[in-house]
């Protein structure tokens, strides 16, 4: 996974606000490893993306707490990908959702559950 891909995965993975706040506090105390563990415990971030997510938080950024926020972050970061996902979902295929999740995972490295929830959110917004 490239650094750019890890950053994208971090900004589209939902993390509870309480975990974000605790991780920032731990990082402020110099307890980086524990901060990353805290983020990973309440999300599907792996070690590398957890580290990237912590860096984003320390820099003053935020991570999404809902799937809607995650989809908005994806739109901002990669509108072309959201367009491709929309095209796949508008196809009259039974497996359109599966194909959209596969595409999202290939491009971002997001885990299966996170990809599923983002695609479901996009589907809902498209009225499917």
Question: How is the chain split into domains, by residue range?
Answer: 3-58, 67-125
How far apart are the C-alpha atoms of 47 and 83, rounded to whole Å?
29
Q: Chain centroid to CA 66: how far?
A: 10
DSSP secondary structure, 44-62, as one string: ---HHHHHHHHHHHHTT--
Instruction: Tell whether the torsion through CA atoms of 67, 23, 109 and 6 is positive or negative.
Output: positive
In this prediction the pTM is 0.89
Per-residue pLDDT of the chain (128 residues; tens, 9 = 90+): 678 889 999 999 999 999 999 999 999 999 999 999 999 998 989 999 999 999 999 999 999 999 999 999 999 999 999 999 999 999 988 899 999 999 999 999 999 999 999 999 999 999 87
């Amino acid at each position: 996974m490239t650094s750019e891909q890890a950053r994208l995965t971090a900004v589209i993975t939902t993390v509870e606000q309480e975990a974000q706040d605790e991780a920032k506090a731990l990082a402020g105390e110099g307890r980086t490893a524990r901060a990353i563990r805290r983020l990973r415990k309440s999300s599907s971030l792996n070690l590398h993306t957890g580290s990237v997510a912590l860096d984003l938080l320390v820099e003053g950024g935020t991570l999404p707490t809902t799937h809607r926020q995650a989809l908005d972050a994806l739109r901002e970061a990669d509108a072309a990908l959201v367009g491709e996902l929309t095209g796949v979902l508008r196809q009259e295929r039974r497996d359109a959702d599966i194909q959209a999740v596969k595409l999202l995972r290939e491009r971002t490295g997001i885990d299966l559950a996170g990809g599923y929830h983002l695609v479901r959110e996009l589907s809902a917004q498209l009225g499917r």
